[in-house]
Structure 1
Amino acid sequence: MSPVLEHAQLAVRPSAEAAFLEAFAQARPLISQQPGFRSLRLSRCLERPHEFLLLVEWDTQAAHEQGFRHSPQYPQWRTLLHHFYTPHPTVSHYQDALPTT
């Protein structure tokens, strides 16, 4: 089974981008130590610098939704990051539709 890719487009309050990046650096170890976590990538939009794209690769969707979101670390993740978002992001999960080459 191929891994699951979590996709979240993060709209950060304008002028809070630097504080968000600092908080994200603190929050990153909270997710990266979770069972089923594979990798994380945070990218910044060139046209709209207050927008970020978060891509997290998991073994399964359950590793994210039932694992991380119900872990003891998730409340700290939420406290560090969620107050930056306007609006709160929609999170979707994807899996490869074609074999990798």
Structure 2
Amino acid sequence: MILEVAVLQVKEGLSDEFERDFKLASAIISSMKGYRGHELQKCIEESHKYILLVRWETLEDHTEGFRGSAAYMEWKKLLHHYYDPFPAVEHFMNVDIS
């Protein structure tokens, strides 16, 4: 499993609208092949900062499947105008430490 991590800096004063639209966008991402779950966390110290965690079966399910889909265009239309700066997205895999 792959964990996608993005720190989202939402433009000041738009948090309520962002959260509303993110609920709509959640239906989009959750319908994608390889999707395993996601969560959105809001920063306590900076109320316009969020962290998005998305679990994917494979890296390609995100980078090729989702990002290459028509559904991603809808996701982008709903959410990308809220960010400043545009978020860096990184991918992580579990480390077996047992």
TM interval, shorter chain, is over 0.9
Q: Match for 1:96: what amino acid?
A: N
Separation of aligned partners in 2, 1:29 and 1:64: 15
Q: Counterpart of 1:59?
A: 57
Aligned pairs for 1:18-97 within 5 A: 18-97=16-95
- Identity, % of aligned positions: 38
Give me the CA root mean square deviation.
Answer: 0.9
Which whole-Å deviations, capped at 9, do the CAs of 1:67-88 have from their partners, x for residues lacking one? 0001110111000000000000
Separation of aligned partners in 2, 1:39 and 1:73: 17
Q: Counterpart of 2:7?
A: 9
What stretches of structure 2 of length at least 5 have no aligned partner? none
Separation of aligned partners in 2, 1:91 and 1:84: 16
Aligned residues: 98
Secondary structure class of the residue paired with 1:57: strand
Separation of aligned partners in 2, 1:66 and 1:20: 25
TM-score, reference length from structure 2: 0.97
What stretches of structure 1 of length at least 5 have no aligned partner? none
Secondary structure class of the residue paired with 2:28: helix
Secondary structure class of the residue paired with 1:6: strand
TM-score, reference length from structure 1: 0.94
Superposed structure 1 runs of 4+ greater than 3 Å apart: none
